[in-house]
Amino acid sequence: MEDVIDQLRELNEPVPVPLELPDEETLVEIQEQILIHLPYELREFLLKVSDVVYGRLEPVTASDPQSHTYLPEVAANAWDAGVPRYLVPLCQDGRDYYAVDPEGEVFLWREDTGELDDETWESVWHWVRDVWLEGGA
């Protein structure tokens, strides 16, 4: 996990208005808004690297309710589109969503089929390494 965090920090792109990292209290408020517990590794991701901007993928954020990546907004849209309610969105990719189950496994939900893809990632950090970082810019 630390290697992935270091790599993300190195690749972080400068932006005119940088994102802020949330605190624990903010995450509790988000859980209350979406009525679902955030899986542990998703919480860690949000607390440590949700301010990183890199490449074309834009994972969810938790500090700015006005952002198009704000977790409660992305969750509402994902669940509206058909993503199973027990999954918490991690990242929207076009009309598809990467989402985390209660145990921390990451799934890809495809809009064209309305189903979960066969490919999964063991954790948020595996997804970051294999999809976000490897997918690059």
The DSSP result for 82-93, as a single string, is T--TTSEEEEEE
Amino acid at 77: N
Domain boundaries, the chain: 2-135
How many C-alpha atoms does 85 have within 13 Å on its Cβ side? 4
pTM (two decimals): 0.94
CATH number for 2-135: choose from 3.40.1580.10, 3.40.50.720, 3.30.70.580, 3.60.15.10: 3.40.1580.10
pLDDT digits (tens, 9 = 90+) for 59-108: 999 999 999 999 999 999 999 999 999 999 999 999 999 999 999 999 99
